[in-house]
Amino acid sequence: MKNSGTKKPSSPKIIPRAAHTVSRDEFSKSALKVLYRLHKAGYQSFLVGGCVRDAMLDLHPKDFDVATNATPEEVRALFSNCRLIGRRFRLAHVRFGREIVEVATFRAAANHADDDHAHDEAGRIVRDNVYGSIDEDVWRRDFTCNSLYYNIADFSIWDYTGGVDDIKQRHIVLIGDPDKRLREDPVRMLRAVRFAAKLDFTIDDTVVEAIRQDRPLLANVPAARLFDEFLKMFQSGHAEQTFELLREHDLFSMLFPDTDKELNRDEAFLEFVLAALRNTDKRVRSNQSVTPMFLIGVFLWNPVRKHASRLRSKEKMSESQSLSLAAYELSGQQQRRIAIPRRFTVPMREMLALQPRFTQTRGKRGLNLLQHRRFRAAYDFMMLLASVGQFDEEMAKFWTRVQTESAEQRAASFQITASKKSKRRRRRRRRPAKAKSSS
């Protein structure tokens, strides 16, 4: 048990440049430009948060958060390439080509704020716009490892919370009273898990205990924010470890309840999900594209299949139709918790509904699948099932092979022998018989 974040010293421990390993080479030119210009204009100017933490861990930070005593309007006056954003939390974005440096004005902790309406009934912060000084700003940050300030004036690091020690000990420690901090913002539970997974840190016992108590509060978090957090958790190259920790702390059930139930009763499904997470991590780390619809499809696969077979037992429909309808209904339910945009749920449904068609390797219909706009995703999904023995290996090989074949070879593979002309004749002759048999 550690408690380094609970005291509130009003002056920081200042670690001079010679006594720490954080070099300016770790920071982008754009971030340094912003820092220097603020400093020259007479403002305090620090890097803060993840970039300082990651630089200490030799993790090469990619995004940079600047903290200053300049107000957003004062920041805008200094930079022509600057835009003010956010209502709940007003920020300046300074743009350099594709890079954005985020500049935040020091805030006072919410409980210091002279505003009763800054919290909702559950204690959740709903507004956070009262400016303050750095020694107030530090206490509203989440974890000690995220609360270090790098001062551009002399390259020192300011540590109010014991963050340097906690980074050395690879510990995730909440600043202040853990229960209160999780109540203020339940998303911090997910952030604890995300940082533990990314940094290979241990979540401190005090935080684990508070999570156990407060996990139901995740139900109060707006669904849109949970989708943002979902992306960070599952598309940053540490999805598998994040998933394991979410399950360990019983938080996954708060995000994907139907999936969680299935994972508990079906080991094969768990194996499939783990294979998908590993695959996603591999893709992210090798800079291949990833889409959230794929993993969401994986998470919903078992619940959707079950629901689809229920639907088929009630009403006559094809397997594909039932999968599509089931995916529609369950993704609707899921969206109430995590706001997955329609541009992901629609292709996800198609991807799942196409799965039965991979068993049809003869005839035009089989061949046509190759042209389907969702073929690629559906194929990847099927291959993943095959990789864990949940789809026929020979059929999977067939679909891999036909993609590289010529038109003639494909016709042979799908056993399409008739020429266009004779086929048309045959179809015409068959039509009356077909109509009879289908009625």
Residue from 5, 12, 50, 237 binding ligand ATP (CB under 6 A) = 50
Residue from 78, 187, 239, 353 binding ligand ATP (CB under 6 A) = 187
Per partner kind, with CB cut-offs from 5 to 8 A, the member of ligand ATP, Mg ion, none near residue 137 is none
* Cα 77 to Cα 304: distance, rounded to the nearest angstrom: 53
Of the residues 54, 128, 137, 142, only one is catalytic, namely 142
* CB-based closest residue to Mg ion: 50
* Subset of 228-267 contacting ligand ATP (CB under 6 A): 232
* Cα 340 to Cα 354: distance, rounded to the nearest angstrom: 21
Instruction: Say whether residue 63 binds ligand ATP (CB under 6 A).
Output: yes
142 vs 240 by CB, closer to ligand ATP: 142
Name the segment binding ligand ATP (CB under 6 A); options: 23-31, 142-150, 367-375, 395-403.
Answer: 142-150
| Cα 282 to the center of its chain, rounded Å | 15
Instruction: Say whether residue 357 binds ligand ATP (CB under 6 A).
Output: no
Instruction: Say whether residue 65 binds ligand ATP (CB under 6 A).
Output: yes
Of the candidates 64, 275, 28, 44, the one whose C-alpha atom is nearest the C-alpha of residue 151 is: 44
* CB-based closest residue to ligand ATP: 50
Count of residues in contact with ligand ATP, rule CB under 6 A: 12
DSSP one-letter code for 117: G
Instruction: Say whether residue 141 binds ligand ATP (CB under 6 A).
Output: yes
Task: List Cβ neighbours of 283 (8 Å cut-off, separation of 6 or more).
Answer: 289, 290
187 vs 323 by CB, closer to ligand ATP: 187
63 is catalytic: yes
Compute the radius of gyration of the chain from its Cα atoms.
Answer: 27
* Cα 171 to Cα 220: distance, rounded to the nearest angstrom: 27
194 vs 307 by CB, closer to ligand ATP: 194
Q: Which residue has the tokens 């794929």?
A: 294
65 is catalytic: yes
176 vs 366 by CB, closer to ligand ATP: 176
Of the residues 54, 65, 159, 258, only one is catalytic, namely 65
Does residue 204 contact residue 1 with C-beta atoms inside 8 Å? Answer: yes
* Cα 193 to Cα 197: distance, rounded to the nearest angstrom: 6
105 vs 279 by CB, closer to Mg ion: 105
* Cα 353 to Cα 328: distance, rounded to the nearest angstrom: 10
* Cα 382 to Cα 402: distance, rounded to the nearest angstrom: 15
Interface residues toward Mg ion, by CB under 5 A? 50, 63
According to DSSP, the β-strands at 171-172 and 45-48 are unpaired
165 is catalytic: no
CB of 49 to Mg ion, least distance (A): 6
191 vs 307 by CB, closer to Mg ion: 191
DSSP string, 360-390: --SHHHHHHHTT-TTHHHHHHHHHHHHHTTS
SS3 state at 13: strand
Name the segment binding ligand ATP (CB under 6 A); options: 15-23, 140-148, 248-256, 317-325.
Answer: 140-148
Residue from 26, 137, 159, 185 binding ligand ATP (CB under 6 A) = 185
User: Which tokens sit at 166?
Assistant: 């906690």
Name the segment binding ligand ATP (CB under 6 A); options: 184-192, 258-266, 355-363, 378-386.
Answer: 184-192
- Which residues partner with 13 through β-bridges? 159
Tell which phi-psi region holds residue 28, choosing left (phi > 0), alpha (psi between -120 and 50) or beta. Answer: beta
* Cα 326 to Cα 304: distance, rounded to the nearest angstrom: 5
Name the segment binding ligand ATP (CB under 6 A); options: 181-189, 240-248, 314-322, 383-391.
Answer: 181-189
Of the residues 63, 177, 179, 380, only one is catalytic, namely 63
The residues assigned a catalytic role are: 63, 65, 142
Binding residues vs ligand ATP (CB under 6 A): 49-50, 63, 65, 141-142, 146-147, 185, 187-188, 232
